[in-house]
A and B are shown apart, each in its own frame.
Chain A
Amino acid sequence: MTARRRDLFLCLILAGFAALLPVVSGVRYTVTQTTFFFIWATVVVQWNLVFGIGGIFSLAQMALFAVGAYTAAMLGYYLGTSMFLAMPAGALLAVIFSVAVGLACLRLRGPYVALLTLCVAQVMYLMIVNDTDCFTNPPAGCMPLMGGVRGFSRFGDLGFRELLGPAFYIGHYYVGLAMLTLAMIASVVVIRSPMGLAFQALRDNPAYAAARGIDRFKYQLWIFGLSSFFTGLAGAFYAVNTGVVGPVVFSFSHLLFLLSMIIVGGVGTIWGPLVGALLLMFADEAMRELGDLRDIGMGLILVGCVVLMPRGVVGLLEDLARRRAAQPARNAPLPTKESA
């Protein structure tokens, strides 16, 4: 079995197990929290393509998430578009936006990219929050074009409320699971393909990659485009799932949460982001009681992990496995001069 088949197989098995959860545990809180896990995991699995596999330290992922969420919410709110159409529309717009950001970052390296993409998100946030001109005047009060500080609500849903009644959250659970499974399969297919190898080559040795005819321009735009579809979709689904979209999606603690997931799990590994997302969801749950101290805990986890465990949990396990595999060779008698 090739590595690619193994990983895809593992994806489907995990998805199968996850599908049983609402049947086994009917607790609403567990199910809705797991739905959030699906959303965040989708974002970090795709972010890993840019940051881990492509080696481009872009922080634009939250902005792409917001583009997806806002597109879906605005289409639903202003035009009454069905969410079945508005969600893919949000994802597609995120792709276009991401390719534009990729173009702007083409000539930059390393932390310059992080700064520029962080500023892009900050500008979007300021443009939305500082907009006080009324675009429409519904009975609820003045509504700026982008929703202003208040954001959007009541822009439609996927119709699970009519279909399943009070158990509508189970519908959302399966939509989220399907989205994460597809995102994970897409990620495995990309990483284990010639294109994924090209991304990794450009990351590890740009000059050698270029000498072998790998076009940085082309592949950077590809990776920005590829990684943004599911990010935008996750944003749109987040909008549908929570029923509100506001400037809170740009908040720094969101970014910190997602960045911690990818770092704790292991940057550039296939399963790292998924593991990190799971661990951080549990950590977040454990710190729920701490209130405002939660951010301090998140910060400590992030700093501790970057300082002590730069390759994350999955990277650490891979290193251990490799060391164990190398052990017998080390114990074998070394060839001496006489025997040689």
Chain B
Amino acid sequence: MDVSLQILASGLTLGAMYAISTAGLALVFGAMKMLNMSHGAILALGGYLSYFALTGLGLPAPVGITFAVLVCAAVGVVIYHIVARPMLQSDNFETRIFIATIGVGVILESIILEAFGPQPKPQPVSVPGSLMWGGVYLPYQNLMILGVAVLIMAALGFALQKTRIGRAIRATAQNRDAAQLMGVRIGGVYALVLAISGGLAAVSGITISSLSSLLPNMGADPMLKAFIICVVAGLGSVPGSVIAALFIGVFEAVVQYIFGVRFSFALLLILVILVLIWRPHGVFGRVQGVRL
């Protein structure tokens, strides 16, 4: 009983971390059909910037985290203006932006490697101590990650559902042309969506590195998992991707306990292939009729 609760607790922490980065990816894909392959590098950049601000500049943690989030959001906006905007109208935008962002990711990762070196670095943003609750070991760090994730998801959900800008994002996602005809500045929406996604990536990078350590290529694995989660949920569905992230986190914790860490990704992939054979548009994805 204790063991299963413990697995559930660590699974939910994993899921919460995945949810933060997955929500950003899903938001961007939903709004502009763009799979951002540089997300992993932005995530690593966020982690390193917080390390740089706290250890290098000696800033207090909230300022450092804000700094990291803002810079990563700016990177998102830059990617929109330099890479995405020139090809928005082309036929095979989805494939082209996928390839272009692979290049952007490599550039960012190499810059991080140049600036900070290949050695792992500790993430200074951490909360020491832990809590024993009903025989379950809960470090404050994990509780904080869960809390941050819930807060961010609630804020994102509120912003998407209740605010004017959120409505503009959802309208653009539903139908770009109609939204534009109704006076939505879709260019601004795209830039905003990429900025939000960049900021979320920074938070996700800080939380992930606070449990392990900072490495220039630390983003690759979380990004692939975030993509898997997006695909399982149905690309573009933000609430679906959060549910799927929590489920996959718990699934991974269970697999790691039973079979060992080695097989967690492989089994995850088999699960995804099965899901996609069952529902090619994902569990929560809208089945869109293809107009030929």
Chain A interface (Cβ < 8 Å from any Cβ of B): 57, 104, 107-108, 110-112, 114-116, 118-120, 122-123, 126-127, 130-131, 205-208, 252-253, 256, 259-260, 263, 292-293, 295-296, 298-303, 306-308, 310
Contacts and interface: CB of A to CB of B under 8 A. Distances in A.
Given A126-B262, A253-B106, 11 more contacts: A110-B94, A114-B35, A115-B228, A116-B231, A119-B272, A123-B266, A130-B261, A295-B106, A295-B109, A296-B110, A302-B100
A303 B109 CA distance: 14
A307 B262 contact: no
B220 A307 contact: no
A310 B231 CA distance: 27
Nearest to B105: A299
B106 A256 contact: yes
Interface string B96-132: 1011101111110111011000000000000000000
B35 A104 contact: no
A130 B221 CA distance: 14
B228 A119 contact: yes
B292 to A, nearest CB: 3
Nearest to B278: A107
Contact of A302 (B35, B102, B217, B220): B102
Interface string B252-274: 00000000011001100100110
B224 A107 contact: no
A295 B110 contact: yes
B228 A114 contact: no
B231 A115 contact: yes
Nearest to A308: B86
Given A115-B227, A293-B114, A252 B98 contact: no
Contacts of B1: none
B276 interface: yes
Contacts of A114: 35, 95, 98
Nearest to A294: B110
A306 B273 contact: no
A310 B103 contact: no
B97 to A, nearest CB: 8
30 contacts: A57-B95, A108-B280, A111-B35, A112-B231, A112-B280, A114-B98, A115-B231, A116-B273, A118-B224, A119-B224, A120-B269, A122-B224, A122-B265, A123-B265, A123-B266, A126-B262, A130-B262, A252-B106, A253-B106, A292-B114, A295-B106, A295-B109, A296-B107, A298-B103, A302-B100, A303-B103, A306-B99, A307-B83, A307-B87, A310-B90
B277 interface: yes
A302 B99 CA distance: 8
A116 B277 CA distance: 12
Given A112-B276, A119-B269, A310 B96 contact: yes
Nearest to A310: B96
Contact of A307 (B100, B107, B109, B217): B100
Secondary structure of the A contact surface, majority rule:
helix
A116 B272 CA distance: 9
B106 A298 contact: yes
Contacts of A298: 103, 106
B224 A259 contact: no
Nearest to B270: A123
A333 B273 CA distance: 60
Nearest to A125: B265
A119 B265 CA distance: 9
Contacts of A112: 231, 235, 276, 280
Contacts of B110: 292-293, 295-296, 299
Which one of A57, A107, A110, A306 has the highest number of Cβ atoms from chain B below 10 Å of its Cβ? A306
A296 B111 contact: yes
A256 B227 contact: no
Contact of A126 (B90, B99, B265, B273): B265
Contacts of A115: 35, 227-228, 231
A104 B270 CA distance: 10
A161 B15 CA distance: 55
Contacts of A108: 276, 280
Contacts of A306: 87, 96, 99-100, 103
A111 B98 contact: yes
A66 B276 CA distance: 25
A86 B86 CA distance: 48
Given A256-B102, A259-B99, A298-B106, A292 B113 contact: yes
B244 to A, nearest CB: 14
A263 B97 CA distance: 12
Contacts of A260: 103
Nearest to A301: B103
Given A292-B114, A303-B83, A116 B276 contact: yes
A292 B18 CA distance: 30
B266 A127 contact: yes
Centre residue among B90, B106, B111 by max chain A CB count within 10 A: B106
B292 A206 contact: yes
B47 to A, nearest CB: 18
Contact of A303 (B104, B113, B269): B104
A259 B86 contact: no
A302 B95 CA distance: 13
A96 B280 CA distance: 24
Contacts of B113: 292
Contacts of B292: 205-208
A221 to B, nearest CB: 15
Nearest to B87: A307
A256 B276 contact: no
